[in-house]
Chains A and B, each alone.
Chain A
C-alpha cells in the first residue's frame, strides 16, 4: 500500500464516511437552524437598538452603549460558557442550543447596532431638516430618507461581521450542541478515524463558501462611490 493509499484510507475512509454521513447531515440541519436564528434575531435586535438610539433619549443611549460595549469586549465563547454553566445556578437551565443562540445573537446585535448607528449618523443633518420641513414626520423621515442611505453604507461591514459571527455556531460544540463539529467530533471518537472530521470540514465549506463569495460580490456592488 502506497503512502497516498494509506493517507486516503485514514482521512477519507469510504466505509466510515458512509456510516456517519447521516450524523453529519443532521449536524448540518442544526447548524443551519442555529445560523438562521442568530442572523434573524441578532440583526433584528441590532436594528431595533439603533432606531431606539436615534430617538436621542440620553439615559437610554448610555444603556445601549453599555450593552453594545459589553458584547463587543467579551469573547463569544466566554458568553456561551457564562450562560450555559452560569444560569443553572440562578435556577434557569438553558440548553446548549439556546445558550449558543442567545450568546451569538447578543454579539451580533452589538456589532450590527454599531454598524446601523454609524450608517444613520452618516446621513447629513440637512437631510433630516429638509425632510421634516416638507412635512414628513420623524418616523417617515427615518423610514424613507435616512434608513435607505444608512442600509447602503451598512451592508458591506454587516455581511462581513455576520459571516464571522455565524461561523461561531461551531462554538456550540463546547456546550454539547449537536451541530456539524459536535457530530463530527463524536463520530471521530466512536470510529477512531478522522474521516468524519474531514466531512464536517467539507460541510462548513459547502455552507459558508458561497456566502463568502456572495459577500465579496456585495462588497464591490455596494461600495460607496466617491
Chain B
C-alpha cells in the first residue's frame, strides 16, 4: 500500500516536478485573487448606484456567473474562441475566466459589505466636504471590508482551490504537474503528494475560518 501510494523513491524523483507546480499555483493565485477582487470591486461600486437601470443588469450578470460552471467558461474561452480567430493561451484564459467568475462572487460579498454600512456614515462624510469617491474610499469601504472579512477569506480559499482547473487547459500548476509526474512514473504517488501539499497549504486557512465563524456565532 505504501509502496503504491507513498513510494519514497517516487516522491524524491517527482518532487522537482511537483514543486514547480506548487510555485506556479502560488503565482497563479497571486494573480487571480487580485483580478477577482478588482472585478468584484467594480461590480460592488456599480451596485452602490441605487438605480434600477444599473441594479437589474448587474443582478443578471452575477446570477449568470453563479449559474455557469467555471470549467465550462474556461473551455468556452480556450476551445471556443479559436473558432472566432482568437487564440488565447491557457494562462490568459484562466485569467479572464477568473476575472469574470470569481469577480461575480467577490462582487456579491462586497455589495453586502457596502450595504451593511449605515447611510448616515456617507451623509456625515459628504457633509464634511468629502467627494462621493473619497467618502467611498476612506469611510465606507474600510468598514465594508471589515464587516465581510470572513466571507472574503472563505471565497479566497475557494479561488485558490479553483486554480486546479488550470490543469485542464495545460497551465502547469500543481495538479497538472502531479499528473505529468504520475504518467511518467506510472504511480499515483505524485497525486497523493500534490493532495498533501494542497492540504498543508490550505488547512490553516480552513482552521482560521472555522474559528472566525464560531466567533461570529458567539457574538450573536
Contacts and interface: CB of A to CB of B under 8 A. Distances in A.
Interface of A: 7, 10-11, 69-70, 72-79, 81-82, 85-86, 89-90, 114, 118, 121-122, 163-164, 167-171, 173-174, 180-181, 185, 188, 193-194, 197-198, 200-201, 204-205, 208-209, 211-213, 216
Interface in B13-42: none
Interface of B: 1, 4-5, 59, 63-64, 66-72, 75-76, 79-80, 83-84, 157-158, 161-165, 167-168, 175, 179, 182, 187-188, 191-192, 194-195, 198-199, 202-203, 205-207, 210, 213-214, 217, 220
A121 B164 contact: no
Contacts of A171: 71
A122 B80 contact: no
B192 to A, nearest CB: 7
A205 B188 contact: no
Given A81-B175, A81-B191, A185-B75, A10 B84 contact: yes
Contact of A78 (B5, B80, B164, B213): B164
A7 B214 CA distance: 53
17 contacts: A11-B84, A73-B203, A75-B163, A77-B165, A77-B167, A78-B195, A78-B198, A81-B179, A114-B210, A121-B214, A169-B69, A170-B71, A205-B68, A208-B67, A212-B66, A213-B63, A216-B63
A205 B67 contact: yes
The listed residue with most B CB atoms (<10 A of its CB), out of A121, A169, A212, is A212
Nearest to B217: A122
A9 B64 CA distance: 25
Given A72-B206, A77-B164, A86 B71 contact: no
Contacts of B158: 164
B80 to A, nearest CB: 4
B64 A86 contact: no
Given A74-B199, A90-B1, A201-B76, A170 B69 contact: yes
B199 A70 contact: yes
Contact of A10 (B66, B83, B157, B220): B83
Contacts of A122: 217, 220
Contacts of B84: 7, 10-11
A75 B202 CA distance: 10
Contacts of A180: 72
B66 A163 contact: yes
B166 to A, nearest CB: 10
Given A10-B84, A74-B195, A114-B213, 4 more contacts: A73-B199, A74-B199, A82-B191, A167-B69
